[in-house]
Amino acid sequence: MIMKVLRMLISLFLLSLVIGQLPVIKVSASSMEGIPAKYTSEITYLVGKSVVKGYPDGHFHGTDEVTREQAATMVGRALGLNGQVRKSAFPDVNERSYASGYIQSAVEAGIIKGYPDGTYKPKSMMTRGEMAYLISHALDLEDTSDISYKDVNQKSPVYQSVNLLTTAGISEGTPGGYFLPGKTITRTEFSLFVARGLNSDFKVSQEEDLEVLSEKVVDADFLNVRQGPGTQYETVGRLMTGETVSVYKKEGDWRFIHSGNLKGYVHSYYLLDKPQGNWTIALDPGHGGRDPGASANGLVEKELVLDVSLKASEYMENTGVDVVMTRQTDWYPSLDGRVALATKNDADAFVSIHANAFASSATGVETFYYAAGLSNREYASVKLATFINNRLYKEMDMSNRGVKNVGYRVVKHNPLPAVLTEIGFLTNETDASKLKTDHYREAAARAIAMGVVDYYNWKE
């Protein structure tokens, strides 16, 4: 145990020395120029411990990068490895290089490794991913957690190291939920990693003292995530319709949220409650296969509604609601077959998606349900139709033709709360011009998906 602690401390010291590979002079933090104001505390701390030293010109040079041979040499010296200049396992390392012995010894000790092509690239700058590997091994980190970066998936060779570093509070990635593992690491970044490894006061806050207050769903085309609770704060990322966030605290109308590794503040107006039940919605793109539906103004109904339905399904992926599609390609399931498929897959509500056709002057959106009386199923159908229609006419910027009681087969002969929504008239030039665009197809899909979320929140 003692040897393990000593090895960790030596490794930390070694890591810090990589920063000062060029000739240095002793200098105080107060006399060193070029220290980023944002990180004065961390770098001053390292200067006070003689971890960071000044260059002959008295500058910090925070944007300078660290090479792989510098890192290997410092690792070798710190761990007492054999530094005798000699031939290494890598053909691109000159055996007379000052670093050759340390590189070979570090490889034998399992501290560093080369590239898949058998080279080491000693003059190459070390990347953030490589440094994550080095620091996580030097500190003997063991704890991992459920972290995610947009550019580091679980199959990535650096995923484990990045996870260890993030879980330890040494790194939190970059704005927007990225880690940038292939980006070279600078003296400033490296200084921050070392300071956080040496002193827990500098570690990235993991909000361990905060509990999740609620789960929400984003209800906006896109939602800016900001550094603080107000529009005056810098944007650090964006969220899209249907993405789920965890709310950790409230500040007025603003909420501090996490979504993956994206953290920041969003306005509460653009958040819906995330349905908590185990809900499954059946989405039914009308017509298909041998039945094209309506055709006008260059549009074919079966193609249009399939596209919108697939988009709606994508919006629902992160809302906590499962989706059953009655068709995902151009084929024709019978009307009764659509209902049977929904019930067989344990759907608890049914939405059939269509486009209208009539006189060229007819325009707008409308949604249908069926009710002979007002049973629980029928009342739920009315609510589902209302939630979807209220969003649909606004998103489509079309006239609202309302919610109507009509006995279409898929809504009348259906044991589930069921609706049939018409997203516009193919026979109307204005409606059709919108339905030809991806913008309005996305709008229709959002309206349907978020209307379903409204419905399930009402159910709860």
DSSP string, 97-161: STTHHHHHHHHHTTS----TTS---TTSBPBHHHHHHHHHHHTT--------BTTB-TTSTTHHH
Domain contains 193: yes
CA dihedral sign of residues 202, 128, 30, 21: positive
**Comparing C-alpha atoms, which of 403, 425, 457 is closest to residue 299?**
425
- Opening angle at CA 305, ends 300 and 311, nearest 5: 135
Both 267 and 403 in a single domain?
Answer: no
Both 257 and 131 in a single domain?
Answer: no
Cα–Cα dist 283/324, whole Å: 6
**Comparing C-alpha atoms, which of 18, 55, 34 is closest to residue 193?**
18
Domain contains 129: yes
- Among candidate residues 174, 202, 230, the one where a domain is terminated: 202
Domain contains 265: yes
Both 287 and 248 in a single domain?
Answer: no
Supply the residues annotated as catalytic.
Answer: 422
List the CATH number of the domain containing 244: 2.30.30.40
The enclosing H or E element of 239 equals strand 235-240
Both 301 and 353 in a single domain?
Answer: yes
Give me the phi and psi of 104, to 5 degrees please.
-65, -45
Both 269 and 304 in a single domain?
Answer: no
The predicted pLDDT at position 8 comes to: 56
Is 134 within 8 Å of 116 (Cβ atoms)? no
Domain contains 77: no
Both 362 and 403 in a single domain?
Answer: yes
Both 223 and 311 in a single domain?
Answer: no
The enclosing H or E element of 404 equals strand 400-405
- Among candidate residues 148, 178, 202, the one where a domain is terminated: 202
Both 147 and 11 in a single domain?
Answer: yes
Both 56 and 143 in a single domain?
Answer: yes
**Comparing C-alpha atoms, which of 377, 348, 341 is closest to residue 277?**
348
Domain contains 106: no
Both 154 and 236 in a single domain?
Answer: no
Q: Which two tokens stand for residue 271?
A: 């958040």
Domain contains 116: no
List the CATH number of the domain containing 345: 3.40.630.40
Provide the residue range defining the domain that includes 237.
Answer: 214-273
- Residue stretches of the chain with pLDDT short of 50: 1-2, 5-6, 13, 17-27, 78
DSSP 93: S
| 3-state SS class at 102 | helix
CA dihedral sign of residues 449, 450, 451, 455: positive
Both 370 and 286 in a single domain?
Answer: yes
Q: What is the DSSP string of 309-344?
A: HHHHHHHTTTTT-EEEES-SSS----HHHHHHHHHH
pLDDT digits (tens, 9 = 90+) for 104-143: 988 887 778 888 999 999 899 989 998 888 778 767 788 8
Residue pointed to by tokens 């991806």: 438
The predicted pLDDT at position 114 comes to: 86
Both 160 and 256 in a single domain?
Answer: no
Beta strands in 68-193 (DSSP E): none
Domain contains 85: no
Domain count, the chain: 3
Domain contains 73: no
- Among candidate residues 150, 178, 202, the one where a domain is terminated: 202
Q: How many other CB atoms are found less than 10 A from the CB of residue 89?
A: 12
